[in-house]
Amino acid sequence: MTSTNSGNPESELEKVGTVIARSLAFLCLQNTSVKDGTVLEKAEFLNGLGLPFSDAAEMLGTTAESLRVLAYNKANKPKGAARAKKAKANRGSR
């Protein structure tokens, strides 16, 4: 007679632990100021708690590839671009 739950009890325990860990990470996110941040900031926060970017992306309703592109664009943005744009706008209002 075979059992319908013939899976490895250890793997079942891992699944339960994963669900609990993701749930706790999401609750931590909801109780910080990061919850009002960008998707990338939220993903970085969840990654800091130990979740892989792929899991964080899934929780946030996006893809890991989208997060990778956002992080790449953020890293390659010229440092003074926003400041220069603001200064130019202020010069025009005088």
- How confident is the model over 21-72, as pLDDT tens digits? 999 999 999 999 999 999 999 999 999 999 998 999 999 999 999 999 999 9
The confidence band for 13, taking pLDDT boundaries of 50, 70 and 90, is very high
pLDDT at 6: 58
Would you call 5 helix, strand, or coil by DSSP? coil
Q: Which residue has the higher pLDDT, 65 or 8?
A: 65
Burial class (CB in 10 A: 0-12, 13-18, 19+), 58: middle
Residue 4 DSSP class: S
